[in-house]
Amino acid sequence: MKSFNDGPNRYIAEVVNIKDDPDKLGRSQLRILSIHDDKINIPDKQLHWGMPIKPADEASHQKIGSGGNGLLVGSHVLVHMMDDGQGRQTPYIVGSIPKAGDKKDGETKNG
């Protein structure tokens, strides 16, 4: 998938980790396309954790509301960076982007 940036703070990212959130907040670790493309010099352990935006009818406070976010490793998501400028340290997950799956070896784009 190509990178996407329709504004100074919106990006497409790939979920690389959903289990090891150090703060246990239901966040997903994200590799932001066009920023974190260098997987050798930017290993997954250095990537930031993105907080999913929840619907207004979920408290998301004092352990009330759903704990998970339904994303899987490999999911593509739309991310908004809350910190303006070059920092890009605080990603929020706005939504997921439908994806049928990765091609298997020997498979063409039409199956």
Model pLDDT for residues 39-90, shown as the tens digit of each residue = 999 999 999 999 998 877 777 676 666 666 789 999 999 999 887 656 667 8
Q: What is the reported pTM? A: 0.76
Q: How much is the pLDDT for 77?
A: 95
Share of the chain above pLDDT 70, in %: 69
What does pLDDT average to over the chain?
Answer: 81
pLDDT for the residue 25: 84
* CA-CA-CA-CA dihedral for 83, 48, 77, 80, to nearest 10: 0
